[in-house]
Protein backbone atom coordinates (compact mmCIF):
# COMPACT_ATOMS: atom_id res chain seq x y z
CA UNK A 1 0.00 0.00 0.00
CA UNK A 2 1.29 3.44 -0.99
CA UNK A 3 0.15 6.14 1.42
CA UNK A 4 0.26 9.90 0.83
CA UNK A 5 -0.89 12.86 2.91
CA UNK A 6 -2.26 15.84 0.98
CA UNK A 7 -1.37 19.01 2.87
CA UNK A 8 -2.30 22.58 2.02
CA UNK A 9 -0.38 25.80 2.44
CA UNK A 10 -3.55 27.25 4.00
CA UNK A 11 -7.25 26.59 4.20
CA UNK A 12 -9.25 26.92 0.96
CA UNK A 13 -6.29 26.29 -1.35
CA UNK A 14 -7.84 23.26 -3.05
CA UNK A 15 -6.79 20.16 -1.11
CA UNK A 16 -10.04 18.38 -1.97
CA UNK A 17 -9.90 19.41 -5.63
CA UNK A 18 -6.35 18.11 -5.92
CA UNK A 19 -7.10 14.93 -3.96
CA UNK A 20 -10.09 14.23 -6.20
CA UNK A 21 -8.07 14.72 -9.38
CA UNK A 22 -5.13 12.65 -8.12
CA UNK A 23 -7.52 9.81 -7.29
CA UNK A 24 -9.01 10.03 -10.79
CA UNK A 25 -5.55 9.82 -12.34
CA UNK A 26 -4.63 6.83 -10.20
CA UNK A 27 -7.95 5.12 -10.86
CA UNK A 28 -7.38 5.40 -14.60
CA UNK A 29 -3.89 3.92 -14.39
CA UNK A 30 -3.91 1.59 -11.40
CA UNK A 31 -7.30 1.39 -9.66
CA UNK A 32 -7.65 0.25 -6.04
CA UNK A 33 -7.60 3.78 -4.61
CA UNK A 34 -9.09 5.03 -1.35
CA UNK A 35 -9.27 8.64 -0.21
CA UNK A 36 -10.00 9.56 3.40
CA UNK A 37 -10.32 12.75 5.43
CA UNK A 38 -9.86 11.78 9.09
CA UNK A 39 -10.80 15.18 10.55
CA UNK A 40 -13.41 17.60 9.24
CA UNK A 41 -15.28 20.63 10.56
CA UNK A 42 -18.16 22.24 8.76
CA UNK A 43 -20.45 19.24 8.40
CA UNK A 44 -24.13 18.99 7.61
CA UNK A 45 -26.41 17.10 9.96
CA UNK A 46 -28.25 14.47 7.91
CA UNK A 47 -30.50 11.52 8.84
CA UNK A 48 -27.37 9.35 8.49
CA UNK A 49 -25.33 11.60 10.78
CA UNK A 50 -22.79 14.36 10.18
CA UNK A 51 -21.57 14.54 6.60
CA UNK A 52 -18.75 16.67 5.21
CA UNK A 53 -18.87 17.73 1.55
CA UNK A 54 -15.16 17.14 0.98
CA UNK A 55 -15.26 13.69 2.56
CA UNK A 56 -18.27 12.75 0.42
CA UNK A 57 -16.31 13.72 -2.69
CA UNK A 58 -13.45 11.45 -1.65
CA UNK A 59 -15.89 8.63 -0.93
CA UNK A 60 -17.48 9.04 -4.36
CA UNK A 61 -14.17 9.18 -6.25
CA UNK A 62 -12.49 6.26 -4.47
CA UNK A 63 -12.34 3.00 -6.40
CA UNK A 64 -12.73 1.06 -3.15
CA UNK A 65 -16.15 1.70 -1.64
CA UNK A 66 -16.25 1.90 2.15
CA UNK A 67 -18.69 3.23 4.77
CA UNK A 68 -18.60 6.97 5.38
CA UNK A 69 -17.26 6.44 8.91
CA UNK A 70 -14.09 4.98 7.43
CA UNK A 71 -13.60 8.08 5.29
CA UNK A 72 -14.31 10.68 7.97
CA UNK A 73 -14.50 9.30 11.53
CA UNK A 74 -13.88 12.65 13.29
CA UNK A 75 -16.53 15.14 12.17
CA UNK A 76 -17.88 18.37 13.63
CA UNK A 77 -20.79 20.53 12.57
CA UNK A 78 -19.38 24.05 13.13
CA UNK A 79 -17.13 25.32 10.36
CA UNK A 80 -14.34 26.34 12.72
CA UNK A 81 -10.97 24.99 13.79
CA UNK A 82 -11.45 21.33 14.79
CA UNK A 83 -9.98 21.68 18.27
CA UNK A 84 -12.45 24.50 19.04
CA UNK A 85 -15.33 22.50 17.56
CA UNK A 86 -14.28 19.52 19.67
CA UNK A 87 -14.34 21.66 22.81
CA UNK A 88 -17.89 22.80 22.06
CA UNK A 89 -19.13 19.20 22.09
CA UNK A 90 -16.79 18.04 24.88
CA UNK A 91 -14.97 15.63 22.59
CA UNK A 92 -11.22 15.22 22.60
CA UNK A 93 -9.06 14.29 19.64
CA UNK A 94 -6.06 12.05 20.27
CA UNK A 95 -3.24 10.66 18.20
CA UNK A 96 -4.68 7.21 18.86
CA UNK A 97 -7.96 8.27 17.19
CA UNK A 98 -6.06 9.11 14.02
CA UNK A 99 -3.99 5.94 14.09
CA UNK A 100 -7.18 3.88 14.39
CA UNK A 101 -8.56 5.70 11.34
CA UNK A 102 -5.44 4.82 9.35
CA UNK A 103 -5.52 1.21 10.54
CA UNK A 104 -9.19 0.79 9.63
CA UNK A 105 -8.71 2.24 6.15
CA UNK A 106 -5.69 -0.03 5.63
CA UNK A 107 -7.81 -3.14 6.21
CA UNK A 108 -9.47 -2.51 2.82
CA UNK A 109 -6.04 -3.00 1.22
CA UNK A 110 -5.98 -0.11 -1.24
CA UNK A 111 -3.03 0.12 -3.56
CA UNK A 112 -3.07 3.89 -3.00
CA UNK A 113 -4.36 5.49 0.19
CA UNK A 114 -4.71 9.27 -0.05
CA UNK A 115 -5.24 11.13 3.22
CA UNK A 116 -6.54 14.67 2.91
CA UNK A 117 -5.55 17.05 5.66
CA UNK A 118 -7.49 19.96 7.11
CA UNK A 119 -6.40 23.58 7.14
CA UNK A 120 -2.66 24.07 6.86
CA UNK A 121 0.26 21.94 8.03
CA UNK A 122 0.19 22.99 11.70
CA UNK A 123 -3.50 22.46 12.38
CA UNK A 124 -4.15 22.21 16.16
CA UNK A 125 -6.24 19.21 17.24
CA UNK A 126 -6.37 19.97 20.95
CA UNK A 127 -5.01 22.41 23.53
CA UNK A 128 -2.38 19.96 24.74
CA UNK A 129 -0.05 20.58 21.81
CA UNK A 130 -1.30 17.95 19.36
CA UNK A 131 -1.22 18.96 15.69
CA UNK A 132 -2.49 17.06 12.67
CA UNK A 133 1.10 17.10 11.42
CA UNK A 134 2.05 14.96 14.47
CA UNK A 135 -0.07 12.16 13.05
CA UNK A 136 1.71 12.37 9.69
CA UNK A 137 5.07 12.45 11.46
CA UNK A 138 4.20 9.53 13.74
CA UNK A 139 3.02 7.47 10.76
CA UNK A 140 5.93 8.50 8.52
CA UNK A 141 3.65 9.32 5.59
CA UNK A 142 4.93 10.95 2.40
CA UNK A 143 3.51 14.43 1.80
CA UNK A 144 2.11 16.17 -1.28
CA UNK A 145 1.84 19.95 -0.85
CA UNK A 146 -1.00 21.87 -2.48
CA UNK A 147 -0.10 25.50 -3.20
CA UNK A 148 -2.96 27.90 -3.89
CA UNK A 149 -1.53 30.28 -6.45
CA UNK A 150 -2.41 33.67 -5.01
CA UNK A 151 -0.76 36.67 -3.39
CA UNK A 152 1.17 35.37 -0.37
CA UNK A 153 1.67 31.87 -1.74
CA UNK A 154 5.47 32.12 -1.68
CA UNK A 155 5.66 32.63 2.07
CA UNK A 156 3.01 30.01 2.81
CA UNK A 157 4.54 27.42 0.50
CA UNK A 158 8.14 27.87 1.62
CA UNK A 159 7.29 27.85 5.34
CA UNK A 160 5.06 24.80 4.93
CA UNK A 161 7.73 22.95 2.98
CA UNK A 162 10.39 23.79 5.57
CA UNK A 163 8.13 22.63 8.41
CA UNK A 164 7.48 19.31 6.65
CA UNK A 165 11.23 18.72 6.31
CA UNK A 166 11.89 19.77 9.91
CA UNK A 167 9.38 17.13 10.98
CA UNK A 168 11.62 14.55 9.32
CA UNK A 169 9.18 13.85 6.49
CA UNK A 170 9.55 13.66 2.73
CA UNK A 171 7.61 16.13 0.61
CA UNK A 172 7.53 14.16 -2.62
CA UNK A 173 5.93 16.84 -4.77
CA UNK A 174 3.79 19.94 -4.97
CA UNK A 175 0.72 20.87 -6.97
CA UNK A 176 -0.03 24.39 -8.20
CA UNK A 177 -3.75 25.13 -7.94
CA UNK A 178 -4.58 28.27 -9.93
CA UNK A 179 -7.21 30.21 -8.00
CA UNK A 180 -7.80 33.07 -10.42
CA UNK A 181 -7.45 33.94 -14.09
CA UNK A 182 -5.28 36.98 -13.52
CA UNK A 183 -2.85 36.49 -10.63
CA UNK A 184 -0.20 39.22 -11.04
CA UNK A 185 3.22 37.84 -12.00
CA UNK A 186 1.99 34.28 -11.90
CA UNK A 187 4.88 32.87 -13.90
CA UNK A 188 7.44 34.68 -11.76
CA UNK A 189 5.86 33.29 -8.59
CA UNK A 190 5.84 29.81 -10.07
CA UNK A 191 9.48 30.10 -11.10
CA UNK A 192 10.41 31.14 -7.57
CA UNK A 193 8.71 28.06 -6.15
CA UNK A 194 10.34 25.80 -8.75
CA UNK A 195 13.74 27.10 -7.64
CA UNK A 196 13.00 27.18 -3.90
CA UNK A 197 11.03 24.04 -3.14
CA UNK A 198 13.23 20.96 -3.14
CA UNK A 199 10.61 18.69 -4.68
CA UNK A 200 9.08 18.49 -8.17
CA UNK A 201 5.98 20.22 -9.44
CA UNK A 202 3.96 17.09 -10.19
CA UNK A 203 0.77 18.71 -11.50
CA UNK A 204 -1.13 21.94 -12.09
CA UNK A 205 -4.85 22.59 -11.77
CA UNK A 206 -5.74 25.41 -14.17
CA UNK A 207 -8.23 28.12 -13.35
CA UNK A 208 -11.49 26.79 -14.72
CA UNK A 209 -14.08 29.30 -15.75
CA UNK A 210 -14.72 31.29 -12.61
CA UNK A 211 -16.00 28.39 -10.55
CA UNK A 212 -14.43 27.27 -7.31
CA UNK A 213 -16.89 24.40 -6.96
CA UNK A 214 -15.07 21.16 -6.36
CA UNK A 215 -17.66 19.32 -8.45
CA UNK A 216 -17.11 21.54 -11.49
CA UNK A 217 -13.30 21.39 -11.57
CA UNK A 218 -12.25 18.36 -13.57
CA UNK A 219 -8.97 19.19 -15.31
CA UNK A 220 -5.46 18.63 -14.01
CA UNK A 221 -2.26 18.72 -16.05
CA UNK A 222 0.27 16.20 -14.77
CA UNK A 223 4.00 16.27 -15.33
CA UNK A 224 6.31 13.32 -15.87
CA UNK A 225 7.24 13.49 -12.19
CA UNK A 226 3.64 12.58 -11.29
CA UNK A 227 4.07 8.97 -12.34
CA UNK A 228 7.51 8.86 -10.74
CA UNK A 229 6.02 9.86 -7.39
CA UNK A 230 3.21 7.32 -7.58
CA UNK A 231 5.14 4.43 -9.12
- Cα(97)–Cα(8) distance, integer angstroms: 22
- Among 37, 137, 150, 190, which one carries the catalytic annotation? 37
Assess whether 37 carries a catalytic annotation.
yes
Q: b/e for 175-192, b at 16 or more Cβ within 10 A? A: bbbbbeeebeebeebbee
- Among 179, 175, 190, which residue's Cα sits nearest to residue 25? 175
Contact indicator for 199, 171 with CB cutoff of 8 Å: yes
- 6 - beta bridge partners? 116, 144
Contact between residue 18 and residue 201 where contact means Cβ atoms under 8 Å apart:
no
Active site residues: 37
Amino acid sequence: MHTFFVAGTDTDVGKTIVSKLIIRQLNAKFGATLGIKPVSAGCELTPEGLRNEDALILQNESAIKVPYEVINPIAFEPAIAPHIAAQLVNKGITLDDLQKCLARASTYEPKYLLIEGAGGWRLPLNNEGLFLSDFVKDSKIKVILVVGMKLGCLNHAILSYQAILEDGLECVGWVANHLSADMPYLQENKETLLKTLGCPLIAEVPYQGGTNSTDDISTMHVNASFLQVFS
